[in-house]
Structure 1
Amino acid sequence: MSNTETRPAEMRCGSPAGEMPQDPAARVEVLTPRDVPLGGPRAMTVRRTLPQRNRSLIGAWCFADHYGPDDVARSGGMDVAPHPHTGLQTVSWLFSGEIEHRDSLGSHALVRPGELNLMTGGHGISHSEVSTPGTTVLHGVQLWVALPGEHRDAARDFQHHAPEPVRLDGAVLRVFLGSLAGVVSPVRTFTPLLGAEIVLEPRAALTLTVDPRFEHGVLVDRGEVRAAGTPLRPAELGYVPDGRDTLTLVNGPDGTARLVLLGGPPFGEEIVMWWNFVCGSHAEVVQARADWTTGNRFGEVQGYDGAPLPAPALPPVPLKPRGRTR
């Protein structure tokens, strides 16, 4: 998915050198979303929890949009024209509906509920995303993973994976990245990551063994979820600092809960995010925008009926560096 804001802020993000891990007993930090329309008079609205002013990454996860359930008859659905990406991987995960993906690598795939599509931008890729005609309700998450400096210019790639559901007491897990509850995803990433959908039955209490090197994010789709004792409402993202070896998730009494669990070790590098680019410097952002404008580097998306998205204007000066709150 593209960041279609017409005035996207440039953000320099990363971990200040010499930070110490937080106390594992520290409370979960609750990140509230902001609404972002995805263009057009009947714009589909997404709820964005990453990046934020006080927290720009969770592990290598640098962007989190949650959308729906969206009545396509009213909103018009998703129609994101070809747009570029650099320095990142995009993670598409649906709860309902169907999206057609096309990219300049030549990939033509459908995004379906419970199936992962992961695209590597690296040095440069372009793609389009359109909800299919049979879609009535569109509902899911779109996530970005920042690539570390040594892999920021990686080759274009596209991977698809349909994880088998794993049933635990009062819960069903689908592990699409990394490992959890004895399940290991085969999908390749450039840093250690965790990504999983978890559905909790009413009154379920699930304690998971997690990697203490990882910080985690609990993105709630529905339900009355408590993460490590902290209540989270739908569309909120709970940040859990590294240092824990277990994470307990509890659902309330009314209906099932669904969440996406993200994780990874603190990223440890500064990055500059602007529009659809993750770069190492302001100069790299300027070059990426120029390459998209001139038609170089990103390739062409075949089969989309329409013009590519134009790049927005760059800010007059770069913003000051930002470090993450730990």
Structure 2
Amino acid sequence: MSNLETEPAELVCDAQAAVASDPTVVILAPRDVPLGGLRAMNVRRTLPQRERSLIGAWCFVDHYGPDDVSVTGGMVVPPHPHTGLQTASWLFAGEVEHRDSVDSLALVRPGELNLMTAGAGISHSEVSTPNTTALHGVQLWIALPDLTRHQAPHFENHVIAPIVRNGVTLHVFLGTVAGHTADATADTPLLGAQIDLPVGTAIDLGVQGSFEHGVLVDTGTVSVAGSTVHSTELGFIEAGRTGIRLENTGDGPARVVLLGGEPLGEQIVMWWNFIGRSHEEIIAWRAQWQLEVIDQADAAGRFGQVAYHGSALPAPELPTVRLKPRR
């Protein structure tokens, strides 16, 4: 998914390892961000924000729905660029068509991971399908490390088989948890999983002590390592913990998305749909997108072309000042 903000802030994110002697859960509340125009689909953004810019290499968490497509118009995101990151699309309900400039055409459905590696540059579109009545899911970005951020772009689709532990259902879409390892490609040590907890259930998960973790609660109320996290909130846990207990403490079913990873250890610059290492890099990529795609429709350029029925998305105006680093 594109960041469709018309005035996106430039964020300089300094990721450093933080190992706590007594890790506690920090509750991060979302902010509402409208995507699009008058019939905007709103998303709840919990990453990045002032208190926390990254969890491992996870650098962007948008949580949306359930949205009535007849009211919001669904997801209609024209071709737009990405650099230096992976996008991980994960749905709870609905269906979205993905097209990109490396000739991928795929549908993302509940229980499937669409993982797009932008590398040196890619463009893609995302449109909810006509038979979608409700749209509900998360859009996640992963910052690529400097070693691999200039790789050739590519796309993966994985069907994620559920596993059940003590009545709790897990879909592990990245990394390893509960004895299950996902097939998806990760360039840094990462973890991503959907966890469904029926009423009255709990699960104890062994996790890597070197990982930071985030627990995004989609529905219900969940005790995360002893702290209460409500629906739409994200509980952040610093590195240093080797086990996390999740317990459904509400009166209905609960669903969470567990994210984790080793601290990236690199400073990144995020603006619009680009992740780079300097302000100058971002300026150059924006200029290239505007010239090659918006002005010239050059399929041989950095971002290629998407087989799409409409125009690509112009880049917003650049910020006039540099912002201070955020952690």
- Pairwise same-fold verdict (TM > 0.5): yes
Alignment pair present for 1:15 and 2:15: yes
Match of 1:111 among 105, 108, 112: 108
Counterpart of 2:305?
Answer: 300
Alignment pair present for 1:315 and 2:319: yes
Counterpart of 2:263?
Answer: 266
Amino acid of the residue matched to residue 308 of structure 1? Answer: A
Moved over 3 A (4+): none
CA distance in 1 between counterparts of 2:251 and 2:144 reads 40
Counterpart of 1:137?
Answer: 134
Q: Normalized against structure 2, the TM-score is what?
A: 0.96
Equivalence map 1:28-43=2 (5 Å): 28-43=25-40
Counterpart of 1:65?
Answer: 62
- In the alignment, is the contact (CA less than 8 A) between 2:222 and 2:250 conserved in 1? no
CA distance in 1 between counterparts of 2:215 and 2:18 reads 22
CA distance in 2 between counterparts of 1:320 and 1:252 reads 39
Cα-Cα RMSD: 0.9
CA distance in 2 between counterparts of 1:117 and 1:20 reads 30
Amino acid of the residue matched to residue 8 of structure 2? Answer: P
Instruction: Give the deviation of 1:170 after TM superposition.
Output: 2.6
Name the SS of the counterpart of 1:149 in structure 2. coil
Name the SS of the counterpart of 1:48 in structure 2. strand
Count of aligned pairs between the two proteins: 319
Relative to 1, partners in 2 of residues 1:110 and 1:32: Cα closer, same or farther, differing over 3 Å? same
CA distance in 2 between counterparts of 1:52 and 1:150 reads 26
Instruction: Give the deviation of 1:190 after TM superposition.
Output: 0.6
CA distance in 2 between counterparts of 1:75 and 1:187 reads 32
**Worse-matched range after superposition: 89-98 or 186-195:** 186-195
CA distance in 2 between counterparts of 1:94 and 1:193 reads 19
Amino acid of the residue matched to residue 297 of structure 1? Answer: R
Amino acid of the residue matched to residue 309 of structure 1? Answer: L
For structure 1, the residue ranges without an aligned partner over 5 or more in a row are none
For structure 2, the residue ranges without an aligned partner over 5 or more in a row are 293-300
CA distance in 2 between counterparts of 1:15 and 1:22 reads 15
Alignment pair present for 1:99 and 2:103: no
Match of 2:79 among 79, 82, 86: 82
CA distance in 2 between counterparts of 1:33 and 1:253 reads 20
Relative to 1, partners in 2 of residues 1:51 and 1:20: Cα closer, same or farther, differing over 3 Å? closer
Query: Deviation string for 1:109-129 (max 9, x for gaps)?
Result: 000001000000010000000
Amino acid of the residue matched to residue 74 of structure 1? Answer: V
Query: Deviation string for 1:70-90 (max 9, x for gaps)?
Result: 000011000000000000000
Query: Deviation string for 1:200-244 (max 9, x for gaps)?
Result: 011112110111111100011001111011111111111011111
CA distance in 2 between counterparts of 1:195 and 1:111 reads 17
Counterpart of 2:298?
Answer: none
Instruction: Give the deviation of 1:321 after TM superposition.
Output: 2.4
CA distance in 1 between counterparts of 2:44 and 2:18 reads 31
CA distance in 2 between counterparts of 1:206 and 1:227 reads 10
CA distance in 1 between counterparts of 2:76 and 2:108 reads 14
Name the SS of the counterpart of 1:235 in structure 2. coil
Amino acid of the residue matched to residue 314 of structure 2? Answer: P
Instruction: Give the deviation of 1:253 after TM superposition.
Output: 4.2
Match of 2:226 among 206, 225, 229: 229
CA distance in 2 between counterparts of 1:201 and 1:258 reads 9
Counterpart of 1:146?
Answer: 143
CA distance in 2 between counterparts of 1:253 and 1:309 reads 42
Instruction: Give the deviation of 1:26 after TM superposition.
Output: 3.0
Match of 2:184 among 182, 187, 198: 187
Instruction: Give the deviation of 1:20 after TM superposition.
Output: 4.9
Relative to 1, partners in 2 of residues 1:253 and 1:65: Cα closer, same or farther, differing over 3 Å? closer
CA distance in 2 between counterparts of 1:80 and 1:47 reads 17
Alignment pair present for 1:244 and 2:241: yes
Counterpart of 2:155?
Answer: 158
Instruction: Give the deviation of 1:259 after TM superposition.
Output: 0.5
- In the alignment, is the contact (CA less than 8 A) between 2:18 and 2:239 conserved in 1? no
CA distance in 2 between counterparts of 1:264 and 1:136 reads 34
CA distance in 2 between counterparts of 1:20 and 1:121 reads 28
- In the alignment, is the contact (CA less than 8 A) between 2:12 and 2:324 conserved in 1? yes
